[in-house]
Amino acid sequence: MRAIVTGPLSGTRTLLYKEVLRFWKVSFQTVAAPVLTAVLYLLIFGHVLSDRVKVFDSVGYTSFLIPGLVMMSVLQNAFANSSSSLIQSKITGNLVFLLVAPLSHWAWYLAYVGASVVRGLAVGLGVLLVTLWFAPLAAAEPWWIVVFALLGAGMLGSLGLIAGLWAEKFDQMAAFQNFIIMPMTFLSGVFYSVKSLPPFWYEVSHLNPFFYMIDGFRRGFFGVSDVSPWVSLGVVGTSFVVVAAICLHLLRIGYKIRH
């Protein structure tokens, strides 16, 4: 009889497929709805603030707004995917089927965060394709678009996994999203350039890692940004490593999932 060899990543592919299939089965809710929300933001803010908000020279406000909305959609949906999947499994009780399977903490992490990245990028691409009808964009430095999209989705997928491990009921998850994720997202320069802010809020914005994700992502389209993309890469990369390390540690010790 041939021996079955298992490694630290055994089962990752199957769990990743299950997580991707989970959100894709309801893609009208998980992909189409966020795209529609972003388009409504564009229509409302683009109309109301187009003549009131100062952004980069030679860049119209609608064009400026689109990359911010794309990245905001990527971040919010990457977080929502891993956090909602884990909290639902905990509350419904089907998490036990994963706990009895020979899955390492690395397999859990790569599958959950991998599916979050897929959903985040799918929604972001949908938002980009739809909003390009309102204002055409050119990718001045496309490598920054790819780098910050992947890092941002990976970081928020990891943060969603941490939130899912911590939360024990849906209202705790809602509090985490409403009081941490949403404020950091909306105060990150999605709808404005931070250079237009008063000095105090300008400095506060630079303490928000979400600002560096969106500013670096926007750099890929226009070739200009509020801060150097290398500074943004350093901040986002460091934040991702720290959040991923915390997430892997919690998975390794079975925080709130093994009793």
Q: Which position has the token pair 């943060």?
A: 159
Structure tokens at 197: 């802010």
221 touches 132 (CB < 8 A): no
* Residue 156 to residue 181: CA distance in whole angstroms: 9
Instruction: List, in order, residues 6 or more apart from 189 with CB less than 8 Å away.
Output: 68, 205, 211, 214, 215, 226
pLDDT tens per residue, range 141-156: 999 999 999 999 999 9
Q: What is the dihedral of CA 246, 252, 257, 258, to 10 degrees?
A: -150
User: How large is the average pLDDT for residues 172-195?
Assistant: 88
Q: Which position has the token pair 């093994």?
A: 258
Q: What are the distances in angstroms from CA 229 to CA 214, 215, 222, 232, 235? A: 10, 8, 12, 5, 10
Instruction: Write down the pTM of the prediction.
Output: 0.91
**What is the average pLDDT value for the chain, to the nearest integer?**
89
> Range with the lowest mean pLDDT among 1-10, 68-77, 239-248?
1-10
Residue 7 reports pLDDT greater than 70? no
Residue 25 reports pLDDT greater than 90? yes
Given pLDDT bands bounded at 50, 70 and 90, which one contains residue 123? Answer: very high
